[in-house]
C-alpha cells in the first residue's frame, strides 16, 4: 500500500512537471530560455507593424497571414512587435492610425488588430516580444506623453523617468493591455484568453530604446515597472529594450531582479561603423559589430541572464532604396553578425537570441527613399525614416535563403 501511494505521488509530480514544461510559456533559468522542456535559442525579426495589418477595418489581414506564413516557412518564429502607438492621427512621420489616438482613448479596431495578430501568431507557434512604449516619436511614445500631459513636445524624452504623472499614465496602459481579453480567441474559438495568460507573448518590453537620463531615476523606473508587470503577468517575461553599453547605465538596469533577460542593439551605419557607398569597409563594419557584441557579453557575464541582440540592420548595396537593387553586402553583414551571436550561443549559452531589423514582406515604398504617408504600405522602416532603407522583402531571395540556413543553425542548439 505504501509503495502504491509513493508511486502515485511520483506520478503526480511527473505529470505536474510535464504540464509546466509543455505549457508553451518561455521561461528563464540562468543564461538560458526554455520552451517546452528544451533550451530555446532563436533567430527572429522585428515586425512592428503587425498590429496595424491585423485591424479589421484599417488593416490588411490577407497580407498579415501571408507574411506570417512566409516567416514561419523560413523557421522565423520570434517577432518583436509594437503593442502601443500614440496619435494624433494627423501627425507626420508617425504610425497611423494609432492605438491610442488621443490621451487615454483607444481605437478598438487597432486593438482588435493586435488581438488578431497575436491569435495568428499563436496558430503558427510563434512568440512575441511586445513593446509597451517608445523613447522615439515615430510611434508617439514618450514625446507624445509630454505633449498630451505637459503641453511641451520638445522636452527630452529621458525626463520621462522623473515625471510621476507620465509614469502613472504608462502604468495605466500596462494594466489595460496585460489584462485585455483577446477578442480573436473569443470570436474564432469561443475561448476566453487574457493577454497575461497567452503563451504567445514571450515578453513584455518596457519601451523601445529607453535611453537613460539620471541613472537613479531610470533604474527606479525599470524596477517599479517590471515589478508591476510581474505582479500582473507572472508567467511572462520582462525585458527593458535598451541598446546596450553605447547609451550608458545599461549595466545598472540589467541588475534589476524582475528584468528576466538582457537586450542590446547594434547599428553599423547609424553609429558610423560602416559607410554603405561601396563594399569597401564592410569587414571593418563587421569587426566593429563583433567588438560591440563582445563588449556587451563580457560586461554582463556575471548577470547570469539570457542575452539577445534584438536590433541590427544594414542598407542595400550603395544605400539604394530600390527593392530591386542588390543586397549581397547586407547578406554578408547579416551572416557576420549571426556568426558571432551563434558562437556565443554555443559557448556556454552566452547569448540566446537575435532579431534582425526588419521584415517588410509584401510591402513596398510608394516612393523609394521617400517619406511614409498615411495609406502607404507599412514596411520595416518606421515612418520617420526613408522608406526602403533597412527592409527585407519577400523577393530578397538571397537574404531569405541565408536566413533559412542560420535559423537551422540556431534551432540545432535547442536541445
The dihedrals phi and psi of 159, each to the nearest 5 degrees, come to -70, -10
Return the half-sphere exposure (C-beta side, CA atoms, 13 A cut-off) of residue 104: 6
Q: Exposed/middle/buried for 75, CB within 10 Å: 0-12, 13-18, 19+? A: middle
23 within some domain: no
Beta-carbon-side half-sphere exposure of residue 21 (alpha carbons within 13 Å): 9
Is there a domain that residue 25 lies in?
no
Strand order from edge to edge, sheet including 32-35 = 27-29, 32-35, 38-39
As beta bridge partners, residue 325 has none
How many domains are contained in the chain?
1
Output the 3-class SS for 279-308.
CCCHHHHHHHHHHHHHHHHHHCHHHCCCEE
| CA–CA–CA angle 310, 356, 88 (5° rounding) | 75
* Of 246, 252, 205, 187, residue with least CA distance to 56: 187
CATH number at residue 76: 3.20.20.80
Q: How far apart are CA 174 and CA 343, in angstroms?
A: 36
Nearest to 126 by CA among 68, 179, 183: 68
**Residue 198 covered by a domain:** yes
d(CA 152, CA 185): 40
- Asked if residues 293 and 335 have their Cβ atoms less than 8 Å apart, the reply is no
User: CA angle, corner 235, sides to 55 and 34, nearest 5?
Assistant: 100
Q: Give how far Cα 84 sits from Cα of 89, 103, 280, 352, 378, Å.
A: 14, 12, 39, 26, 16
Q: Angle CA(103)–CA(59)–CA(148) in degrees, nearest 5?
A: 10
308, 315 contact by CB (below 8 A) = no
274 assigned to some structural domain: yes
- Residue 333 resides in a domain: yes
CB half-sphere exposure, 374, CA atoms < 13 A:
11
Q: Among all chains, which residue has been given the C-alpha cell 508591476?
A: 228
The verdict on residue 344 lying in a domain is: yes
Phi/psi class of residue 367: alpha, beta or left (left: φ > 0; alpha: ψ in -120 to 50)?
beta
- What is d(CA 312, CA 285) in angstroms, rounded to the nearest whole number? 12
Peptide bond between residue 106 and the one before it cis (omega within 30 degrees of 0)? no
Residue whose C-alpha cell is 501511494:
5
Q: Could you give the angle at which helices 328-346 and 282-299 cross, rounded to 10 degrees?
A: 30
Q: Which residues pair with 44 in a beta bridge?
A: 355
Asked whether residue 22 is assigned to any structural domain, the reply reads no
Q: Check: CB of residue 55 under 8 Å from CB of residue 115.
A: no
Identify the sign of the CA torsion 40, 54, 140, 365.
positive
Residue 366 located in a structural domain:
yes
Q: Which domain holds residue 320?
A: 34-411
Grid cell at residue 280: 569597401
Give, for all 415 residues of the chain, the pLDDT tens digit: 444 333 333 333 333 333 344 599 999 999 999 999 999 999 999 999 999 999 999 999 999 999 999 999 999 999 999 999 999 999 999 999 999 999 999 999 999 999 999 999 999 999 999 999 999 999 999 999 999 999 987 778 999 999 999 999 999 999 999 999 999 999 999 999 999 999 999 999 999 999 998 999 999 999 999 999 999 999 999 999 999 999 989 889 999 999 999 999 999 999 999 988 766 789 999 999 999 999 999 998 888 999 999 999 999 999 999 999 999 999 999 999 999 999 999 999 999 999 999 999 999 999 999 999 999 999 999 999 999 999 999 999 999 999 999 999 999 999 9
Q: What is the pTM of this model?
A: 0.94
Where does residue 321 fall: left (phi above 0), alpha (psi -120 to 50 degrees), or beta otherwise? alpha
Query: Residue 127 is inside which H or E element, if any?
Result: strand 127-131
Torsion from C-alpha of 321, 327, 330, 331, nearest 10 degrees: 150
Amino acid at each position: 500500500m505504501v509503495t502504491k501511494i509513493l508511486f502515485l505521488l511520483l506520478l503526480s509530480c511527473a505529470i505536474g512537471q510535464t504540464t509546466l514544461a509543455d505549457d508553451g510559456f518561455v521561461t528563464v533559468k540562468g543564461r538560458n530560455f526554455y520552451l517546452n522542456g528544451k533550451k530555446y535559442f532563436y533567430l527572429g525579426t522585428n515586425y512592428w507593424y503587425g498590429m496595424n495589418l491585423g485591424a479589421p477595418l484599417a488593416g490588411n489581414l490577407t497580407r498579415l497571414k501571408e507574411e506570417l506564413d512566409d516567416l514561419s516557412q523560413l523557421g522565423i518564429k520570434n517577432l518583436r512587435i509594437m503593442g502601443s502607438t500614440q496619435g494624433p492621427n494627423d501627425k507626420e512621420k508617425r504610425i497611423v492610425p494609432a492605438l491610442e489616438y488621443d490621451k487615454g482613448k483607444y481605437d478598438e479596431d487597432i486593438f482588435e488588430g493586435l488581438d488578431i495578430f497575436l491569435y495568428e501568431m499563436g496558430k503558427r507557434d510563434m512568440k512575441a516580444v511586445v513593446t509597451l512604449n517608445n523613447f522615439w516619436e515615430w510611434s508617439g511614445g514618450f514625446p507624445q506623453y509630454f505633449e498630451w500631459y505637459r503641453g511641451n513636445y520638445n522636452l527630452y524624452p529621458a525626463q520621462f523617468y522623473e515625471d510621476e504623472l507620465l509614469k502613472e499614465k504608462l502604468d495605466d496602459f500596462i494594466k489595460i493591455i496585460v489584462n485585455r481579453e483577446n477578442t480573436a480567441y473569443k470570436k474564432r474559438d469561443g475561448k476566453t484568453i487574457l493577454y497575461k495568460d497567452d503563451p504567445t507573448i514571450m515578453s513584455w518590453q518596457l519601451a523601445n530604446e529607453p535611453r537613460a537620463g539620471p541613472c537613479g531615476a531610470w533604474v527606479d523606473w525599470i524596477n517599479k515597472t517590471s515589478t508591476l508587470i510581474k505582479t500582473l503577468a507572472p508567467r511572462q517575461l520582462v525585458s527593458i529594450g535598451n541598446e546596450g553599453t553605447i547609451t550608458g547605465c545599461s549595466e545598472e538596469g540589467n541588475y534589476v531582479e524582475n528584468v528576466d533577460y538582457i537586450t542590446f542593439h547594434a547599428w553599423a551605419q547609424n553609429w558610423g561603423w560602416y559607410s554603405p557607398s561601396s563594399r569597401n569597409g564592410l569587414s571593418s563594419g563587421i569587426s566593429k559589430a563583433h567588438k560591440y557584441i563582445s563588449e556587451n557579453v563580457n560586461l554582463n557575464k556575471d548577470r547570469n541572464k539570457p542575452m539577445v541582440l534584438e536590433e541590427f540592420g544594414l542598407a542595400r548595396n550603395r544605400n539604394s532604396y530600390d527593392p530591386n537593387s542588390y543586397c549581397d553586402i547586407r547578406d554578408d553583414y547579416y551572416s557576420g553578425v549571426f556568426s558571432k551571436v551563434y558562437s556565443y550561443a554555443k559557448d556556454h549559452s552566452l547569448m540566446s537570441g537575435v532579431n534582425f531589423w526588419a521584415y517588410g514582406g509584401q510591402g513596398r515604398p510608394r516612393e523609394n527613399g521617400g517619406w511614409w504617408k498615411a495609406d502607404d504600405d507599412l514596411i520595416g522602416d518606421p515612418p520617420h525614416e526613408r522608406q526602403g532603407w533597412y527592409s527585407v522583402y519577400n523577393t530578397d531571395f538571397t537574404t531569405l535563403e541565408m536566413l533559412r540556413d542560420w535559423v537551422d543553425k540556431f534551432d540545432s542548439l535547442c536541445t
